């Protein structure tokens, strides 16, 4: 790998080194960017680095050891080829719709190792899930009753776990999904009562699931949340009518987007959790599957969103690079996916990594709205029409977390390299 003149790119060493470069061009999976664009046949596109995903899983596994199983939350990136790749690397796939369930089952993963969460599962989705034999994570008492009815109709005993809305909030998460009032899960204090109800129903109750927040970059706060999670779920497990088989501790491990974000150390985070499980869970529950469930952390850093410059213009002293992509494909990079403050995602001109003259530009998308800003006042090498602009950290919550229909442009291609 040759070196890159860091001064000319708003992306950091971390992003550039992950992919490498051949001369001026970024490599994705070893393929120079221009050639990859030709191979894909159109821009914009998302490209995912298969080896990068393998490495991300391996680094975490090195810390987790045998103590904790790993699940992939398909929601983060449901591209079938990518999910297929991950199915061979992780122990569980977690889905949140019948569509994701179909993708998960198509990988050949055993339904024993597929879980289904989500607050608004329809009867049709529940029926598909029960027929498939996957583990349904109950989000309410009413949903439990509906699952039983669906099971009776099919003549199949549904497998379920109770999703718990904890009596604590996880600090430091970019997006909170537990603690206080929530549409997710059953309030912890209501769970004992629900377990009494479930004992009389024709269900296999296998355990618990707790997912309380996403995008957390604080190892200490993650450890605290994991301790609280383990203690709460172990206490609830005492009231389970059957032996505990499944203990899904959630996850929420984040990746760095803004310049000031510090990445988590996967070996450290994994090792901390492994020790916690050995010390607190194993003495009381030697046989349960203990699962860490992650989306973003496994795939986010291995994806790039590649756009081509279609215009370059100067307006009253400000230089704009107008690219053929935008917020309709990569909403998060424009700061419009729940962020309070807009911060630039790492960005580079993937065809000009060799150095040369730099300038400060705004990189804007092709949509006719001022929201479509991919990079604000970023220092980049002077680029021209035809150059390829790359947004990093695009492997999770990109294509499917963006309003693709907005303004009627074609969907972006995706490639796993």
Ligand X SMILES: *Cc1c(COP(=O)(O)O)cnc(C)c1O
Stretch that binds ligand X, among 16-24, 73-81, 82-90, 197-205 (CB under 6 A): 73-81
Question: What is the C-alpha to C-alpha distance for residues 385 and 400, in angstroms, rounded to an integer?
Answer: 28
Kindly tell me which residue out of 151, 295, 395, 398 binds ligand X, with binding defined by CB under 6 A.
Answer: 295
Question: What is the C-alpha to C-alpha distance for residues 335 and 332, in angstroms, rounded to an integer?
Answer: 5
Residue number of the CB closest to ligand X reads 295
Of the pair 295, 335, the CB lying nearest ligand X is at 295
Stretch that binds ligand X, among 217-225, 288-296, 322-330, 373-381 (CB under 6 A): 288-296
Q: Does residue 252 interact with ligand X by CB under 6 A?
A: yes
Residue 85 Cβ vs ligand X, minimum distance, rounded to whole Å:
17
Question: What is the C-alpha to C-alpha distance for residues 151 and 130, in angstroms, rounded to an integer?
Answer: 7
Cβ atoms of 24 and 5 within 8 Å: the answer is no
Of the pair 4, 144, the CB lying nearest ligand X is at 144
Question: What is the C-alpha to C-alpha distance for residues 88 and 84, in angstroms, rounded to an integer?
Answer: 7
Residue 159 Cβ vs ligand X, minimum distance, rounded to whole Å:
17
Residue 213 Cβ vs ligand X, minimum distance, rounded to whole Å:
8
Chain centroid to CA 217: 14
Query: Residues touching ligand X: how many (CB under 6 A)?
Result: 17
Question: What is the C-alpha to C-alpha distance for residues 405 and 352, in angstroms, rounded to an integer?
Answer: 31
Cβ atoms of 214 and 177 within 8 Å: the answer is yes
Residue 291 Cβ vs ligand X, minimum distance, rounded to whole Å:
10
* Residue 7 burial by Cβ neighbours in a 10 Å radius (0-12, 13-18, 19+): exposed
Contact pattern for ligand X over residues 75 through 94, marking x by CB under 6 A: xx-----------------x
CA 108 to each of CA 80, 89, 105: distance values in angstroms, whole numbers, following the listed order: 12, 13, 6
Stretch that binds ligand X, among 71-79, 82-90, 185-193, 369-377 (CB under 6 A): 71-79
Q: Does residue 214 interact with ligand X by CB under 6 A?
A: yes
For residue 406, report the phi and psi dihedrals to the nearest 5 degrees: -65, 115
Instruction: Tell me which residue of 81, 95, 228 sits closest to 165, measured CA to CA.
Output: 228
Of the pair 164, 389, the CB lying nearest ligand X is at 164
The residues that bridge with 114 in the sheet, in sequence order, are 93
Of the pair 36, 332, the CB lying nearest ligand X is at 332
- Mark whether 368 is an active-site residue: yes
Site for ligand X in 385-404 (CB under 6 A): 396
Instruction: Tell me which residue of 336, 297, 279 sits closest to 52, measured CA to CA.
Output: 297
Of the pair 4, 222, the CB lying nearest ligand X is at 222
Kindly tell me which residue out of 74, 117, 361, 389 binds ligand X, with binding defined by CB under 6 A.
Answer: 117
Contact pattern for ligand X over residues 296 through 325, marking x by CB under 6 A: xx----------------------------
Site for ligand X in 145-184 (CB under 6 A): none
Q: How far apart are the first and last CA of the chain?
A: 18
Q: Which residue in the list 155, 368, 370, 405 is annotated as catalytic? A: 368
Cβ atoms of 85 and 118 within 8 Å: the answer is no
Q: Which residues are catalytic?
A: 368
Site for ligand X, rule CB under 6 A:
73, 75-76, 94, 96, 117, 211, 214-215, 251-252, 293-297, 396
């Amino acid at each position: 790998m040759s070196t890159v003149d860091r001064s000319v790119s708003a992306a950091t060493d971390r992003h550039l080194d992950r992919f490498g470069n051949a001369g001026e061009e970024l490599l994705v999976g070893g393929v120079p960017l221009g050639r990859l664009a030709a191979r894909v046949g159109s821009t914009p596109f998302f490209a995912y680095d298969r080896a990068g995903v393998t490495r991300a899983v391996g680094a975490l596994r090195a810390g987790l050891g045998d103590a904790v199983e790993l699940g992939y939350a398909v929601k983060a990136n449901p591209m079938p080829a990518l999910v297929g790749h991950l199915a061979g690397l992780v122990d569980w796939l977690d889905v949140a719709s019948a569509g994701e369930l179909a993708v998960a089952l198509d990988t050949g993963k055993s339904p024993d190792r597929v879980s289904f969460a989500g607050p608004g599962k329809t009867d049709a989705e529940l029926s598909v899930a029960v027929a498939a034999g996957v583990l349904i994570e109950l989000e309410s008492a009413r949903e439990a009753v509906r699952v039983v009815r669906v099971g009776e109709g099919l003549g199949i005993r549904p497998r379920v776990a109770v999703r718990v809305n904890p009596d604590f909030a996880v600090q430091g998460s970019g997006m909170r999904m537990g603690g206080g009032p929530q549409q997710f899960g059953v309030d912890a204090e209501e769970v004992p009562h629900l377990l009494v109800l479930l004992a009389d129903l024709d269900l296999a109750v296998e355990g618990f699931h707790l997912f309380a927040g996403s995008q957390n970059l604080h190892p200490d706060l993650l450890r605290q949340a994991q301790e609280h999670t383990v203690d709460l779920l172990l206490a609830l497990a005492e009231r389970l009518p059957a032996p505990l088989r499944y203990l899904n501790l959630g996850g929420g491990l984040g990746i760095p987007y803004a310049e000031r974000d510090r990445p988590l150390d996967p070996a450290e985070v994994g090792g901390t959790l492994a020790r916690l499980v050995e010390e607190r869970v194993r003495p009381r529950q030697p046989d349960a599957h203990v699962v860490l469930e992650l989306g973003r952390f496994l795939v986010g850093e291995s994806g790039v969103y590649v756009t081509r410059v279609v215009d370059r213009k100067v307006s009253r002293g400000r230089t704009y690079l107008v690219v053929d992509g935008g917020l309709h494909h990569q909403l998060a990079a424009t700061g419009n996916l729940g962020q309070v403050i807009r911060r630039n995602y790492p960005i580079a001109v993937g065809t000009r990594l060799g150095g040369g003259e730099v300038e400060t530009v705004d990189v804007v998308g092709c949509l006719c709205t001022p929201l479509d800003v991919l990079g604000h006042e970023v220092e980049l090498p002077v680029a021209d029409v035809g150059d390829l602009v790359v947004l990093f950290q695009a492997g999770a919550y990109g294509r499917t977390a963006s309003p693709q229909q907005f303004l009627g442009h074609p969907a972006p291609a995706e490639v796993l390299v």
